[in-house]
Amino acid sequence: MKGEERMRREPHPLLRGGRTEKSYDHGLSSYELISLASICEAFIPPIPLDSLHVNDGKYDPPNKSLEYFFLSSGSDDSVPDEVAERMVKACLPEAVFLVRWTLRFLSTRLGTLFLCGFICLGGDFPFIKKYSDMSLENREKVLQKWSKEKELRIFRVVFVMLKILCLFTFFSRTDKNMHNPAWDAIGYHVDRDENSSTPKKDRPLEKGIIETIHESDSTLVKSLSQKGVSVINDPNKNFYRIECDVVIVGSGSGGGVAAAVLAASGKKVVVLEKGNYFVPEDYSSLEGPSMNQLYESSGMLATGDAKCTIIAGSTVGGGSAVNWPQRKTYEGGIITSLHKVVSKESGVQAIIETPALGPAGFVALFPWVSGYDMKERLVKYARTVHLFALVRDQGSGEVMKECKIRYRLNDRDKENLRTGLRQALRILIAAGAVEVGTHRNDGQRLKCKGIKEKELEEFLDRVTAHGGPMSKGENWNIYASAHQMGSCRMGATEEEGAVDENGESWEVESLFVCDGSLLPSAVGINPMITIQSTAYCLSKKIAESCTN
């Protein structure tokens, strides 16, 4: 802009990327870190340039960014420390214990023999090598063995955890300039110099919000008082009592609407939210810090058997902050990002969508069969399309306590996923894809050039919805769940639901549920508007009952 000063929009410090802490507090010992670094290197090995082959010949001879990418390793710099940090902060304690137990065993010769088998034998006395002393080729073979282990399937869970942690960390980490040198080789770029001519405004909730991360016990009481909230000290019980009419836990699509309605009715409302507060001007396009700050457990929350990743917002606004579209999806038949597929067997629809996946999310979901295969496929990142099948599931699960989740797909869900997957592959082939495949652990794929109908049908017959890492078969998948709902559903009686038609608990008076938990079943679409509408109606009733 001529005559005007260019203004660079700076994201919120928590969303900028680049590590600011000088030390790590993951608590892993030096022996555990050595084992972890060896595993990271096996997942992301340095590849000799003379073995570099890219199908289209575009990188012959390879450019500098490609050379860097193929020669880089998962053990470079502080990658193992960052992997350990992410694991300890985001994963379940039981999962962390399992991985650390594995790392400790791998730091000893006998432990390596137990976990890796005879592949660790060789060389001079004492003839057994620790995992970190094994050749890179053999370390990679161990990971491949774990991926297909059918007897001790717990190794698969360890494999999945370490694979996701290592690959996601490597491809999401950035320097202080919000850049990762591996991105240049795969054709991925984020806008790090956005111009903004709009003067910075106060955040919409600025007058009413208290960010407790910046408060001490004494300043918190003062801040609450300044907001007009009465605080009473109870020295006998060593806590402060905050006086209000309504406490709302969670600020998502349901909690946010309920808070607005009840506050407008004259009630003094306090909203509790464990996530941080960001506004659109704070956001960045960086996967790593965005997942850390905006998603539950940094996007690492999963069911106990590691079969299903639970994707849920954890910030002020909840799911509406991370999943609200910039504009309405075109509602017509000319252009659409959705393709509805009907399974003849069950009559339940699957919806095929195209997700936006950055390189870290891409490689975390993609099947890892070898380090070379992973890097060669990442080079094709910019020319790779992902389609996924979305089903309105009929299965069920349990949340036993915080972050302890079980979930089961029933036969109808599996059949509809299978139908959706097959149709997605047909779409890609019809669009001219050179190769198609699934996320199955063995890297199931098909070369499409010159493919005959019979060969295609034979391949599609092998495409199915497998179980998770703990399933009995050699092949397995990982699933993702978004828009979780129905865990505290509404019912006409105590036997039919946890809350009544007003959203009030059958067991506790004046305890109401106003979010997606009370929906009787999965709605089959993005539920934000449905949740907001339900919360609006229920909170209106709550306001009336409080007045009466």
User: pLDDT digit string (tens) for 213-232?
Assistant: 888 888 998 999 998 889 98
Residue in this structure with the two tokens 């942690």, named with its chain if needed: 165
Q: Give the contacts of 495 (CB within 8 A, at least 6 positions apart).
A: none
Distance CA 536, CA 417 (A): 34
250 marked among binding-site residues: yes
Active site residues: 483
446 in helix, strand or coil? Answer: strand
234 marked among binding-site residues: no
Q: Per mean pLDDT, which range of 37-41, 208-212, 214-218, 420-424 is the poorest?
A: 214-218
259 marked among binding-site residues: yes
Q: Give the contacts of 214 (CB within 8 A, at least 6 positions apart).
A: none
Q: According to the model, what pLDDT value does residue 217 have?
A: 82
Q: Residue 352 has which token pair?
A: 């095929």
Q: According to the model, what pLDDT value does residue 193 have?
A: 57
- What single-letter DSSP state applies at residue 521? S
pLDDT at 177 over 50: yes
pLDDT at 115 over 60: yes
**pLDDT tier at 333, thresholds 50, 70, 90:** very low
Q: According to the model, what pLDDT value does residue 341 have?
A: 64
Helix (H) or strand (E) holding 26: none
CB-CB contact of 276 with 293 (8 Å) = yes
Share the mean pLDDT of the chain.
Answer: 88
Q: Per mean pLDDT, which range of 189-198, 266-275, 288-297, 496-505 is the poorest?
A: 189-198
Domain boundaries, the chain: 13-186
Q: Per mean pLDDT, which range of 120-124, 152-156, 309-313 is the poorest?
A: 120-124
486 marked among binding-site residues: no
252 marked among binding-site residues: yes
**pLDDT tier at 95, thresholds 50, 70, 90:** very high
Q: According to the model, what pLDDT value does residue 126 have?
A: 82
Most confident among 217-226, 464-473, 477-486, 507-516 (mean pLDDT) = 507-516
Q: Per mean pLDDT, which range of 46-55, 151-160, 434-443, 508-517 is the poorest?
A: 46-55
pLDDT at 336 over 50: no
Distance CA 276, CA 317 (A): 10
- The number of angstroms, rounded, from the C-alpha of 33 to the middle of its chain's C-alpha atoms is 24
Mean pLDDT of 20-33: 88
Q: According to the model, what pLDDT value does residue 155 have?
A: 94
Q: According to the model, what pLDDT value does residue 400 have?
A: 81
249 marked among binding-site residues: yes
Q: Output the CA–CA distances (angstroms, integers) from residue 71 to 37, 144, 262, in the order listed.
A: 16, 21, 59
261 marked among binding-site residues: no
Comparing CA positions, the residue from 74, 58, 59 lying closest to residue 371 is 74
348 marked among binding-site residues: no
Q: Residue 392 has which token pair?
A: 């309105």
Q: Per mean pLDDT, which range of 43-57, 109-123, 178-192, 253-267 is the poorest?
A: 43-57
253 marked among binding-site residues: yes
pLDDT at 200 over 90: no
Q: Residue 179 has which token pair?
A: 């850049």
CB atoms within 10 A of CB 546: 14
79 marked among binding-site residues: no
How does strand 479-482 pair with strand 308-311?
A: parallel
Q: According to the model, what pLDDT value does residue 351 have?
A: 86
**pLDDT tier at 530, thresholds 50, 70, 90:** very high
Mean pLDDT of 83-100: 94
**What burial letters (b/e) apply to 214-247, b meaning 16+ CB within 10 Å?**
eeeeeebbebbeeeebeeeeeeeeeeeebeeebe
Q: According to the model, what pLDDT value does residue 327 have?
A: 61
Q: According to the model, what pLDDT value does residue 272 have?
A: 96
Comparing CA positions, the residue from 33, 41, 145 lying closest to residue 371 is 41
209 marked among binding-site residues: no
447 in helix, strand or coil? Answer: strand
264 marked among binding-site residues: no
208 marked among binding-site residues: no
